[in-house]
Amino acid sequence: MRYLFALLLLLVPILGVWTFVEADRWQLWFPENVSSFGGEIDGLFNLIMYMVAFTFIVTEVALAWFVFKYSANRPGKGVFTHGSHKLEMIWTAIPAVALLFIAFSQMETWAKVKFESNFPKTGEYTKEKPIAELWASQFDWRVRYPGDDGVIGTVDDLERSYEFVVPVDTDVVFHLRSRDVIHSFFVPEFRLKQDALPGHTIPVWFRAEKEGIYDLVCAELCGWGHYKMSGRMTVVSKEEFAKRMAEIKAEWYSNGKEQG
Amino acid sequence: MSLRLSLVATTGLALWVGACQLDKDQKPARPVVHYSLSAATTALGDDGEPVIPSSAQAGIEGSLEMLFGTPQDPQFQLLPEWKDDGFDPNWPQYAKGDSGSGEVDPAELLEDNKLYWRRQLAAIDAGLWDRVFVQDFTPDLRADWNDLCANTPVEARNDEFKKAARELFEGYYPKLSASAELYRQHCLHCHGPEGGGDGPTAPFLNPRPRDYRHGTFKFTAVGKSVPRREDLYRILDEGVTGTSMPSFRRFSRAQLEGLVDYVRLLSMRGMVERSLVATYKEEETLTSGDTLDAYAEVWEKWQKADSKVLTYNGEVPAPTAETIAKGRELFMDAKRGNCYSCHGPEGRGDGASAFALDPETGEVKPTYKDDWGNEILPRNLRLGIFRGGRRPIDIYRRIKYGIAGGPMPEAAASLSNDDIWHLVHYVGSLSERPQHAKAADHGDAHAPEKH
Amino acid sequence: MSTHTTHAPHATPHLQPGEGEPGTVREHHDHHELGFLRKWIFSVDHKVIGLQFLFSGLVFLALGGLMAMAIRYQLAWPWRPMPGLAWMFPATGGAISPEFYTMLFTMHGTIMIFFVMIPLLTGAFGNFLIPLMIGAPDMAFPKLNMFGYWTMIPAFFFILLGFFVEGGHAAGGWTSYPPLSTIEAAAPGSLTGQTCWLMGLTWVGVSSMMGAVNYVTTIVKMRAPGLTMMRLPLSIWGLMITSLLQLFALPVLTAASIMQLLDRTMNTGFFTPTNLLVNNITPDSFAYGSQAAAAGGQPLLWQHLFWFYSHPAVYILVLPAMGFTSDILAVHARKPVFGYKPMVYSMSAIAGLGFIVWGHHMFTSGMNPALGMTFMVSTVMIALPSAIKVFNWLGTLWGGRIHLRTPMLFACAFVSMFIIGGLSGIWMAATPVDIYIHDTYIVVAHFHYVVFAGSLFAIFAAIYHWFPKMFGRLMNETMGKIHFVGSFIFTNMTFYMMHQLGVAGLMRRTADPYAYDVYQHLQPINEFITISAFCMFAWQIFFVVNFFHSMFWGKRVGRNPWNAASLEWDAPSPPGHGNFDKQLEVYRGAYEFSSPEVAEDFIPQTRKI
């Protein structure tokens, strides 16, 4: 009997680790990272994962081993002990240090991504002069680029639904806003998530380092159509970006002769 | 006990493995959806009897099925005159000589398909066959791909196979039945199986989802005519902001064109139904000739849609303080613009004539109802939300040609094009935010929170 | 007869249950047989009330489980006819609607947390075990205890009523974030369902409050002579700390629910910002069709208040389970609990730290990111007492004489699963990592490992372990083992791969994720999970059959079938009214197993040497 149950308990770490090792092959791992800070986030994830995996394997194997070894079939009584002060100290101090190490190792990246004091200040786009406003509402994303006056919230704003076009290798700051309920801006490839809070304007920054088309996902339940609320993040070269903006503008001022 | 235990556990695991091994086709089948007649057709008269006797209703239902098929197998019946010019709306991407149905540029489709199926194409190129994932809502492509794979074992998949596979994805254009399946998964729960705007989610939406069966679509470039393909495509592509209709650009161009095909079918089906009901009420009988006539008539309307497009000849002027001021004057001018009477002097959609006192209940109610019988309010222009689009040309069309199906009228003849542009600029400026501070105004709750 | 109907005649007839001295002896057990109603329905006996909680909890467990199956079905085969529910959706040919899906997962979460786990852990076992394990004849306030269950009845009523109102039940997630939940136009479930939800929750809160007051008073005041706090079994410690958590945290949730209720019904605006436009309604405008409600509120306020309760609630869901596990491990491993005091201190530390970690649910919410850092440190540190507990459990097993009976197997599984759930929590605590994994399936995996594979397994362990005390009969071992093996395998097959889904970025709460490019390849893995979940659900038939069969036809046992040392095993099985039939005097802690002092391998707490 104990063979069976010890084996069951032992299967947990074995299969558990195996699925993580194989996950990449099954396409069950991080999507490709394209943002400047995404690599750090993946690194931190992996750092925690290795520390956690070590603990996981040690404790789970110990559990299975004890269940196997200290069976009631053994003659005599069990070890009569109420604990060990020394051991308690050891297994309090070591995890404490490890956990504090984890906590402090995270702070820099967190501050880099979210602290407004660390937002780009010199580039083309800043907190005061964002590339666009991204409006979330049930159940779509709309992007408002400034018109010729360079200011958002005026009559010449250019508005597009669904697709947010940004230039590559540029520090991009945009304002995230919601019209109705809480939504969340999430681009898996950017490793970036930020809730859009009604009544607030939340500046967000990122720097995309690879051109491409990425899904923009709503990550906070926003009603029955939550699953429908998709968008697209299009990262293009700087020249292409200028071209795309010109196209958007041309379409905006179309006289209806072209399609649409 | 160990033996019993392992026996039962093995049985359980075997069950599980069996369930996983079930063939894809044996997994839950797609549901069967039915078209039914509209409430207007099946309505009861004052005497409690159906206005149209059930035998005639059955006749209408039969005719509609003959003309348009079923949700599982939707198809247009071919009219005799189409035989000669080779027009077949069941293959819309190859449609020729049908201005209303328009032609979809194959090169554009190809480009878009390459983009949309980029993951699948990359997997094909790399020979990673298990990564070629075909979604559930493209059943025809899925079947084709499975066929292709079934015919060629993995080791025999050479460049030729890759080429054939690429062509499958790059040249994909959904069959009507596949579009109906996409519609079922992503549109039906609001718009209903017949496009009646009465799916299970519909009662909770404001405004209600569009009922296609009138053939009236509000936000088009064709005034009050039935829409062109482009108009329907634009709605799918952009969504209708301020409503629950999101943008569906997540699907490929071909899939959206396919949805347009299917929406056209549903809309025509509804129009033919309405036409047959009207004929029956008039003549108290229906012949197969009536059915075909109604069908041909409806088709004619849709084919002519392209010629109804409303454009502006000239360059769209940019807004200035001056044009905005002029627009304001027109907005408040009772003789010319007269916008304020409904939209209110501040554009908040609270004009006096939009509301009326119900003499019986003493309640204030909206004056107007739209063609579908829903109460309708003038747009609050201060929100900056324009369902038909916020582009100048969109607002221009709304002002100049009115909105189909609703009380928004065409502009008075005394308004020149320039006047209308002034109004467009003024209306656009109503939702401007004060720029000196991010402080409160419409749609702009408070100053951003300090972080 | 009529003069004596209220209580059994005792040696001191004026003494009401609970008023006696600690360890009071009830000498006469020839009391009247109470009628069925008085005995099983309007009972003030803690054991019966415990069973009432147990049975209603198990019924809701089945209901919540069915909902989970419906959710899994939709995720594996979206928009296919839903077995059993297809009749509700004729227009779609039987496929559920998206708002129905949002309702399903909202109510699955709500029911499982507030109507299954909390009532089972604190209501059922709290009631049943506390007086027995501390040697008291009943709770300190038996009538309050009865009301504690009876206030659950309106909660059941409202939570079930919600399914039948227009628009269906609440659909704003179990967290009910405003404005989605407060504004009626925002979601079908926010029409009336959300009000039912809030009423239901408020009543659960009232019930928990009555229970918590009672538990704390009973444990502090009614322990048998000689039973000092540091001789208490760890189950009692777990329940006591849980009760304290409830006492301090629940008022906040109750206040928050009442605020939300006011927002919904009285047009206040605690959580509603100005100038929203939800489904074309601006709640605070005077325009036609709007509510002219107050506004200027703050949606984040709800999140703070809600999580101020609901994070401690997570520990409410696990602390009693930890206590049960400690007891069961010690009894069946025939070893004293390793590091009893560190166990008590770490439970207290979890409870204390539990109050300052709520912000880790809000890292991406728009809360000040500097706060996020603080919450990260406190959250990471809360892993420490959990780690200490795991090491102590392993220490308890080490060198023992382990009897692998069903309760022991479930308790070992609890340890194994809690390790997984606890460790994956560290990812969530780390703010930068949480930016990515927040609201993905890795979170779903995490809390199902803690609450389902953890706490529910501990509940199964507790049911198997204390069943003899409840009904005087043993549950069938073979059936129990079969139940365990299948549950353990299928639970892991169901939840483990969710970690990888989360790493792949799959969002929670999406009715059909596969229309997103990034998620479309995840369908087969979801199918795997769904089939495993179905098997796991079906497997519980072994438990149901075993439970009811053993209740009536199980093997009869005496007072102490496990040779356990704690006080409840000194009472008859099942204990009569007043619990104990002899004078209790406690001489030692509850875990004197394998002591060299005596020939047997255990010394009951009451045995004087």
B163 and B181 together in one domain: no
In a mutational test of the C interface, the residue from B13, B16, B134 whose CB has the highest number of chain C CBs within 10 Å is B16
- State the virtual CA torsion across B359, B364, B368, B373 in degrees, nearest 10: -80
Residues B255, B292: one domain? yes
Amino acid B412: pLDDT:
86
- B449 Cβ partners below 8 Å, 6+ apart? A200, A202, C366
Question: In terms of residue numbers, what domain contains B166?
Answer: 118-170
Ordered domains of chain C (ranges, CATH): 48-570 (1.20.210.10)
Identity of the residue in B186, B314, B445 whose CB atom sits nearest the CB atom of A199? B445
* Residue reference for tokens 């906590």: A103
What was the pLDDT predicted at A126? 93
* Cβ-nearest to A106 among C298, C384, C431: C431
Q: B226 and B188, same structural domain?
A: yes
Q: Of C98, C370, C397, which has the smallest distance from its Cβ to A70's Cβ?
A: C397
C609 near C598, Cβ under 8 Å? yes
- Of C136, C157, C152, the C-alpha closest to C49 is C152
Domains contained in chain B, number? 3
Position A155 pLDDT exceeds 90:
no
Q: Which residue has the tokens 């179309």?
A: A254
Asked if C93 lies within 8 A of B34 by C-beta distance, the reply is: yes
Residue B4 maps to a domain: no
Please say whether the beta carbons of B276 and B63 come within 8 A: yes
Contacts of B202 (CB under 8 A, 6+ apart): B190, B191, B192, B208, B209
What is the overall mean pLDDT for chain B?
Answer: 86
Nearest chain A alpha carbon to C186:
A223
- Residues near A219 by Cβ (< 8 Å), separated by ≥ 6? A184, A185, A186, A193, A195, C364, C438, C439, C440, C507
- Rounded to an integer, the average pLDDT of B379-394 is 90
From chain A, pick out residues whose CB is under 8 angstroms from the CB of C398: 66, 70, 79
- Is residue B261 domain-shared with residue B210, that is, in the same domain? yes
Average pLDDT over residues B32-52: 90
Question: Phi-psi bin for B308: left (phi > 0), alpha (psi -120 to 50), beta?
Answer: alpha
Q: Is the peptide bond preceding residue B207 cis, with omega within 30 degrees of 0?
A: yes
Q: What is the model's pLDDT at position C11?
A: 39
Q: Is residue B398 part of a domain?
A: yes
Residue C90 three-state SS: coil
The C-alpha atoms of residue C410 and residue C407 are separated, in whole angstroms, by 5
For residue C376, give how far its alpha carbon lies from the nearest alpha carbon of chain A (Å).
7
- Interface confidence, given as ipTM, is 0.94
Task: Select the residue of C79, C91, C477 nearest B185 (Cβ to Cβ).
Answer: C79
Residues B81 and B225 in one domain: yes
DSSP calls for B174-209 = --HHHHHHHHHHHTHHHH-TTSSS-STTGGG-SSPP
B86 with B216, same domain: the answer is: yes
Cα C294 → chain centroid: 36
B142 and B268 fall within a common domain:
no
CA distance A172 to A133: 12
Helices and strands in chain B, H and E counts? 17, 4
Supply the pLDDT for residue B441: 41
Low-confidence stretches of chain C (pLDDT beneath 70): 1-33
Q: Which CATH class is domain A132-252?
A: mainly beta
Which residue among B126, B151, B170 closes a domain? B170
Q: How many residues does chain B have?
A: 451
B328: its two tokens: 């304001």
Burial class (CB in 10 A: 0-12, 13-18, 19+), B302: buried
Domains of chain A by residue range:
2-72+82-114, 132-252
CA distance B353 to chain A (A): 28
- Please report, for residues A251, B265, B337, the alpha-carbon distance to residue B291 in angstroms, rounded to integers and kept in the order given: 42, 16, 44
Task: Categorize the per-residue pLDDT at B100 as very low, low, confident or very high, splitting at 50, 70 and 90.
Answer: low
Residue B449 lies in a domain: no
> Residues B318, B319, B320, B326: is their CA dihedral positive or negative?
positive
C110-147 residues labelled b (16+ CB within 10 A) or e (exposed):
bbbbbbbbbbbbbbbbbbbbbbbbbbbbbbbbbebbbb
Shared domain check, B162 and B187: no
Q: Which among B22, A5, B27, B12 has a CA at the least distance from the CA of C541?
A: B12
CATH number at residue B373: 1.10.760.10
pLDDT mean over A216-223: 93
Q: Same domain, yes or no, for B304 and B334?
A: no
Segment holding A194, helix H or strand E: strand A192-196
The pLDDT assigned to B94 comes to 56
Residue A212: predicted pLDDT:
93
| Chain B residues closer than 8 Å to A253 by CB | 315-316, 318, 391-393
Could you identify the residue written with the tokens 């189409």?
Answer: B82
- Inside any domain, residue B439: no
Grouping H, G, I as helix, E, B as strand and the rest as coil, residue B169 is helix
Q: What is the mean pLDDT of residues A27-43?
A: 94
The answer to whether B139 and B178 have CB atoms below 8 angstroms apart is: yes
User: Would you say residue B2 has pLDDT above 80?
Assistant: no
Map C433-497 to HEC letters. Answer: HHHHHCCEHHHHHHHHHHHHHHHHHHHHHHHHHHHHHHHCEECCHHHHHHHHHHHHHHHHHHHHH
Range in B271-280, B284-293, C548-557 with the lowest mean pLDDT: B284-293
Q: How confident is the model at residue A150 (pLDDT cuts 50, 70, 90)?
A: confident
Nearest CA in chain C to A191: C436
Predicted confidence at residue B273, as pLDDT, reads 95
How far is it, in rounded angstroms, from Cα C585 to Cα C576? Answer: 19
Structural domain ending residue among the three candidates B309, B332, B365: B309
Residues of A in contact with B241 (CB under 8 A): 137, 140, 142, 161
Task: Among B170, B205, B235, give the residue marking a domain's end.
Answer: B170
Give the distance from residue C565's alpha carbon to the nearest chain A alpha carbon, in angstroms: 14
Does some domain include residue B403?
yes
Q: Measured between CA atoms, how close is B417 to chain C, in angstroms? A: 31
Range A133-142 average pLDDT: 93
Which residues, other chains included, contact B295 with Cβ-Cβ below 8 Å and sequence gap of 6+?
B67, B77, B79, B268, B272
The share of chain B scoring above pLDDT 90, in percent, equals 49
From the number of C-beta atoms within 10 Å of its C-beta (0-12, 13-18, 19+), residue C608 rates as exposed
Query: To the nearest whole number, what is the mean pLDDT of chain A?
Result: 93
> Where do we find the tokens 């009865």?
C146
> Are B184 and B162 in a shared domain?
no
Identify which of C490, C20, C381 has the alpha carbon closest to the alpha carbon of residue C7.
C20
Distance of CA A45 to the CA centre of its chain: 11
Nearest CA to B349 out of B376, B325, B327 is that of B376
Asked whether the beta carbons of residue A154 and residue B311 sit closer than 8 angstroms, the reply is no
Is the domain of B273 the same as that of B368? no
Contacts 24+ apart (CB under 8 A), C50-53: C50/C123, C50/C124, C50/C125, C50/C126, C50/C127, C50/C128, C50/C129, C51/C124, C51/C128, C51/C470, C52/C149, C53/C119, C53/C120, C53/C123, C53/C124, C53/C127, C53/C149, C53/C152
- Closest residue of A to B444, CA-based? A199
Same domain? B185 vs B251: yes
Residues β-bridged to residue A212: A235
Average pLDDT of span B363-384: 89
Q: Which residue in A30, A83, A189 is closest to C342 by CB distance?
A: A83
Q: Is residue B150 part of a domain?
A: yes
- The answer to the question of residue B412 being in a domain is yes
- Site of tokens 């299970």: B200
